[in-house]
Every structure is written in structure tokens, then in C-alpha cells.
Structure 1
């Protein structure tokens, strides 16, 4: 049997590798979209996110987290059948909700597009998006079972498959549009989304069917009522929290283009700016979070098991190591995005504004990466109410900046709001965890030392840039990649001994 630490490490490595690969594919996809449908098209597509996020909150919401925790707890006592029972009861309920949500979106697509999203072009896209809600729900519920079992192979494969199918389907639709003389627009992104979710859902259904046959599992209705009551009782507060938070996210997303118009931008300019921030700059900032997201997924069931077993020391060490390495990664990301953000945005997306926004958004990296993992730990400890409080605080700050800062300062007002909200959320997460687990925080190891090393690494990278620039003046992309590699290598070399001790 593999030890718990090795299982956690292996699962994180698999998820991280897959996460980086899918994000690399995703970036090429976004570059392709920026060249085909433009920033305005990407902005229109991003307007759909409030609808898809709200559907996910209502249909899956707290059920995914509670299913993962409950399956992990049953697995800890050797009840594989109990885990399957929880999976199928939870999935059945979530799928029923998703079918209802899909029908409502189809019926009210015109109303949602015109009166809520404020963009009539999104109506036909909503009709297609509705079809993806049930298949996405199936996919999400099934992978929660594998995460609870700390089996990351199937989720990783489905994630990669979904991304590949999405990109290939969008490209196929693009070619069909071109061949028929139709100007490519954001509709091809929604078709790609539907195809990707359908492929991933089919793959996970086949995987779970094989898993059930391996253990000779048969579902019995006699256990369904008991499991449903347990899941619903635990999940409805979390679901209510998720819906509330998602509504605030939706308000923020819908308000941004309208507030941008108040500061003098036309409708197309407002949508383009929104598309550049949410479709180009923010995904780039989130790229390194493939590592922290993988850790967060693996931490929730692990922390839940530690709490159930009374291993408070393990919980304490988990929090300390998480804070340390999230800050190290975040501070390194600040250096890369602030020093090379303009070049990255211009080279990848051929858009100078993307580079400028990337330089500003780079400062949220430490807090962004830290929040994802600390929130997962809080959920693993069952502190869902505290997660709700910090999310509400952060989103309220962002909405206030959208309402009052954007009309006065333009898009920079929104970027300042993002930075301040992530900072507040991080502070609240640390305070809440400090009350739940008596961990220690070493500012020298977590902030001062990484910042000092960042200065050294930047100096090395700028020196390399000066040398490489002479020999590779005509290949700026390769020059940039090599400089960041040199910077990363010099920064990482200081932490290799610590990483080796952690693995041991």
C-alpha cells in the first residue's frame, strides 16, 4: 500500500501535469480566438459565465464538496459500497436539477440575453449552453468520487480530453464557417464547450461503469433515502452559500461592461476591454495556479480524514506548508508578470492592453494562489460558513469598486478592486484558520526570503536578457522563454533542499 503522503504527492503531480498541459492547450486556443473572433467576441463569450456559474451553483453547488467529503469518510472505514451509494444518489439529484435549469434557460434565453446580460447576441449562445448543463453536471459529480478516493488518473484524463475536444470542435466549426463565407463569431466557442463537456461526460460514465463492475456493485433503493437525507442536510447550507456568492459574481460580471461605458467607452470597446481582462490577462495570471488548484483538490479529502482521525498536528503542518509554498510561487509570479507582462501579452495575444493589464494583475498572484488552497482546507475542516464570510467580503469589495471606481478611474479601478479584495480574502482565511488550528507563520521564510531571492533572480534574468538579446534579436518569443527559464531556475535552486526534505 502506498503511504498517505506519497498518495497525496502523486495525485498532486498527476493533476498538476495535466493542469499545465490543458492550460497550455487553452492558451493556444485563446490566442486562436483572439485572432479569429477578437477581443469583442471574447467579451461576448465571457458574458455567458454568470449563467453557467449560477447553473453550476444551483445544480451541483455544495453537493460536490459534501459528496467528496462523505465518500472520503466512507472510504476511510473501508465502505466502498457506501461511497458508490453516495455518488449515485447525489448525481441523480443533481442531474434532475440540471435538466430543469437547462429547460428554463432555453425558454427564457431571449429575456436573459436582453434584460440581464444586456447583449442580444448571447441569446442563441444560451440555447446551446443550456444543453451543456446536464452533461457538465454528470462529469463533475463523477470526478468528485475519484478525487475523494485520491484517484486522479480519470479526472486528469477527462480534463485533458475535454480540452482537446473543445479546441478541435471549435476549430472545425471555424473551418465550416469560413468555407460557407460566414464571419466567425463567439458561437463557435459555445459549440466547442458543449462538445468538450459531452466527451468528458461520456468518458467518465464509462470509467465509473467499469469501476462498479470491478467491485460487483448494485444500487439499492433502500439506501437511497438515508443517503439523500445525509447529503442534503450537509450540503444545503453550502449550496445556499454558493448560490449567494455566484449571484454576486454574476452581478459583478454584468455590471463591468455597463460601468465601462459610463467612463466614455463605446459598447464594443467595453466588451473588448472586458474580453481582454477576463479572456486574456486573468487566465495568464491563473496559469501557475495549476499547481495550487491541484493541491487544493487533494487537500480537501485529506484534511477531512485528518480531522476525523483527530490528527491535529497533520492539519497544522498542512496549513504551514501550504501558506509557505503558495506565497513562494505567488511572489515568483509577481516578478515574472511585472517584469515581462507587457512582453507576454503583446507576443501571445498581439495586444498591448493585455500586457498592461497583466502587469497590474500580477500583484494579485500570491493572494489568488493562497486563497484557493486555504479555502479548500477550511472546507475540509467543515468551516463552510467561514468560507462564505470571506467570499462575501471579497466580492462585496469588488462590486463596490466596479460601481464607484470604474466610472472615475476606468478599468484600472476594477483592477485595484481585484487586488484589494484578494488581499482581504487572504487575511480573513489566515485569521479563520488560526482560530481553527494553531499553526505558526514565519514571515522570513514565507515573504522576506522569497522576495529577496526574487530580486536576485530578476537580476540574473535581466543579465541573461541582455546577453541573449544580442544573439536572438530576431526571435523575441524564444528569447522571452529562455529568460523566464533562467529566472525560474535561479529562483528554484534556492529551494531544492527544502523540497527534497518535504518529499522525504
Structure 2
């Protein structure tokens, strides 16, 4: 199967699964908004910067490093070394996630009050921490599968995670309702943890049954040292990249409610606006990105494989086709959200504010969808420092919107900042790729 066919096949599988999961998640968010209200959804969304930061520290960089390294090993016929990379990555990621979970549990009160600015987040952070080790297992196995160009296990595990999360929350809600107890947003956090557990168990079981990655694998000290020198130096900048990016995102997300209060909003109103934006409008805008996310996942190991063979003409053709397709998709989605944005917000979410947010955010769709593919190519080339700098530049623009535009223009100022940020990221990513590919072809 050619590289183009591999990308198309993998993208189709991941996209179909991604759309189905996002379709379920779309109605799941409607359920959350009607059950717990805008303020409850706001509290739920407020803890995600902490979860994302912990995941970035323990698994995200290692997953990307596993995917890229495994792709190169497989292209050179070194499958045993690819399996050793997976084992080493799993060990480090699981160890880090367990340590991070303990630290999060011990400092939940401090993080809730001083970092998130709301003590009500403490009972949400403690159960959230138990999902980290399972997320690490799931992440590393998915990275290995992407490097092998196998999408079945990641796709099904994603589906299982979403189904387990939604069903568990609904069951908890029904049990509490029948008992006459109030259902709090905590059950949504428990559902998230159960979803991570289910996907981790499925991924580990399926990988062991289908490919036996550890069968007859003699992992000597010398082998471990060689794999360590290959994986860790690559994963460290990726992890630092993700941690710093998530730290900036956390500062951005946590500061939004506080800055909204400077625009004459009460604490409750600010949290409600934040919940509508992050829990309703943004997920709606990101719904079609199931396609571009799938393309990006398949594109990075493909670029790494092409780089190993120095076939830069093929790489240039693939980048042009993928980026062009993502941009056209973004234009189509922009038109749809402009026309139906108000209806989606008012009818589906029961929030006229959500409709206004969707219309404003629709303008960034062409750039948002294209950027995921462009940044994936840069990572595949091993230029992770550029990815970090580009993402950081975009986040600095958004944070500037939070601190300077929100007090003057309200949440609308932040939405404008998001649009400018995506435009800047597109320009920088295109510039980096143009320079690198032109030098290679010279």
C-alpha cells in the first residue's frame, strides 16, 4: 500500500470514529448544559487546564516521540527496536503519571484556591487525578500504533472511551435522581476517569492479543541504553513544548473569568460565559476538526518516514494536497457556522450567547483546521522547537487578548484575539515549511 493510500485509509478510519465520538460528545455536552447549568459546565471546564498540564508532562510528548521513532524504525525494518521503544515509553510515562497523580491529590486544595481561583474545584481535582495513569497507557499504545500506521486500536479505544464516559455519567445521574439526591458536576469527572480506564484496558488487551509486542522481546541493558538515547532526547523537547504550551493555555483559560469580572460581570456571570465558550461554542467549532486531526495524526509518521528516505519532492506534494484540503474544509465550515450558528446555539444548547460565539469563531475555521496539519508536518520533520515557538507566539496573542481586550470589549475582545492568533500561526508555519523544504530541494 502506497503512503498516500495509507494516509487516506488511516484518515478515513480515524475520521469516522472521530465524527461518531464528537457526535456523541455534542449531545453529551447538551445534556451537561441542561443538567448542571452554564455555571456547572464552567466549573467542569475550569479543571481541564490542570488535567491537560499533567497529561502534557507525563504522556503527550512521549506519545509523539514514540510515534515518530517507531515510524522510522519500521521504515528501516527494525521492528524489534520499535517494540523496545514502546516498552521504554510506557515505563517512563506510567511512572511519571503515578507521581503526578499523587502530587495533584496532595495539593488539590491549594491548586483549586490559588491556581484556579475557585475552592469548589477541589472535589473535582482529586477524582480527576486517578485518570492520569490510564491516560498514559492509552496514549503510549496509540502512539505506537500510529507509528506502525495501524489505526484500528486507537480508533476503537477512542470510541470505547466516549461510550464508557457518557454511559457512566448517565447511570450515576439516574441513580442519584432516583434516590432523591442532587447530581453534581463531580459525576462528569468520574465519567471521564472511567472512560480513560476502559480505553487503557482495551488498548493494552488488543495490542497484546493482535501483535504480541513483547513476545520474545529480550530487553538487555545495552538495548535499553540505546533506546533511551533515542527516545528521551526526542521526548524531552516535545514534553517541554507541550508543558509550556499547556501552562500558557492554563494561564489563558484561568484568567478569562477573572478578566470578565473587570468588564462589570459578576463571578457567576463570568463563569457562565466561560462555560458557554469552552463547553458549548468551541466544541461546536472544533467538531469538523475530526477530519484534520485524523490527517495530522497520520501525516506526522508519514513525514518522518519520507524524511528517512530523503524523498522531499514526495513530501512537498503531500503537504500541498493535505494543507489545501484542510483549508477548503475550513471555508465550507465557516459558511455553515455563519448561516446556522444562531440556530445551533439557541435551539440545541438553549443559549443565545453560544450562537453569537459560534458566528464570531467561524471566521477562524480555515486557518484553525489547516494549522493542525502544518504543525504536524513540522513535528514530523523533527523541528519541534519551531512548533513550540509558533504555538507560543499564537498563545501570547491570545493571552494579550485576555488581559487587554476583555476588560475593554468583554469576551468579544478575546474572540478577536483568537482569530488574529490563528492567522499568525498559519503565517509562521508556512514560513518555516517553505524555508526548510526549499533548502532541502536546493
**TM beyond 0.5:** yes
CA distance in 2, matches of 1:213, 1:65: 22
**Separation of aligned partners in 2, 1:153 and 1:285:** 26
| Whole-angstrom CA distance in 2 between matches of 1:49 and 1:213 | 35
Residue in structure 2 matched with residue 34 of structure 1 by the alignment? 33
Secondary structure, counterpart of 2:212 in structure 1: helix
Match of 1:20 in 2: 19
Q: How many residues align?
A: 438
In the alignment, which residue of structure 2 is the partner of 1:71? Answer: 70
224-233 or 158-167, larger mean C-alpha shift: 224-233
| CA shift in 2, pair 1:14/1:251, >3 Å | same
CA contact (8 A) 1:85 1:219 kept: no
Q: Hey, what does 2:272 align to over in structure 1? A: 272
Deviation, structure 1 residue 219: 4.5
After superposition, residues 158-197 of structure 1 pair within 5 angstroms as 158-197=157-196
1:84 and 2:77 are equivalent in the alignment: no
> 1:48 and 2:47 equivalent?
yes
Tell me which residue corresponds to 1:125. Answer: 124
Unaligned 5+ residue runs, structure 1? 440-504
Deviation of residue 183 (structure 1)? 2.1
Partners in 1 of 2:2 and 2:372 — Cα distance?
Answer: 25
**How far apart are 1:215 and its partner, in Å?**
7.8
**Deviation, structure 1 residue 178:** 1.2
Match of 1:342 in 2: 342
Deviation at 1:28, TM superposition (A): 0.9
> Which residue of structure 2 lines up, in the alignment, with residue 236 of structure 1?
236
Per-residue CA deviations over 1:339-384 (Å, capped at 9, x if unaligned) read 1100111121111111110000001101110111100000001111
Question: Cα distance 1:179–1:397, how it changes in 2: closer, same or farther (>3 A)?
Answer: same
Instruction: Report the structure number with the largest CA radius of gyration.
Output: 1
Residue by residue over 1:291-312, the C-alpha shift from the partner in whole angstroms, topping out at 9 and shown as x without a partner, is 1000000000001111110110
For the 8 Å contact 2:135–2:196, the answer to whether it is kept is yes
Is 1:137–2:123 an aligned residue pair?
no
Could you report, residue by residue, the CA deviation over 1:299-345 in whole angstroms, capped at 9, with x for unpaired residues? Answer: 00001111110110111111211221111111111111111100111
Rounded to whole Å, the distance in 1 between the matches of 2:198 and 2:164 is 7
Q: 1: distance between equivalents of 2:58 and 2:205?
A: 22
Q: What is the CA-CA distance between 1:182 and the residue it aligns to?
A: 2.3
Residue 239 and residue 41 in structure 1: after superposition, are their counterparts in 2 closer, same or farther (change >3 A)? same
**TM-score, normalised via structure 1 length:** 0.85
Unaligned runs of 5+ in 2: none
Per the alignment, residue 301 of structure 2 pairs with: 301
* Residues 194-203 or 220-229, more deviating: 220-229
Give the Cα–Cα distance (whole angstroms) in 1 for the partners of residues 214 and 203 of structure 2: 17
Question: What does residue range 235-254 of structure 1 map to in structure 2 within 5 Å?
Answer: 235-254=235-254
In the TM superposition, residue 214 of structure 1 has moved relative to its aligned partner by 7.5
Q: Is the 8 A contact 2:207 2:213 kept in 1?
A: no
Post-superposition, which runs of at least 4 consecutive aligned residues in structure 1 deviate over 4 A?
Answer: none
Deviations 1:156-208 (A, max 9, x none): 00000000000000101111221222222210110100000000000011012
CA distance in 1, matches of 2:335, 2:155: 29
SS at match of 1:121: helix
Residue-by-residue CA offset, 1:189-247 (whole Å, 9 max, x unaligned): 10100000000000011012224537833242422222122211122122212211111
Contact kept, 8 Å, 1:81 with 1:217, in 2: the verdict is no
Give, in whole Å, the separation in 1 of the partners of 2:376 and 2:212.
32
Quick check: 1:316–1:438 contact (8 Å CA) kept in 2? no
2:83 and 2:213 in contact (8 A); partners too: no
TM-score (norm 2): 0.97
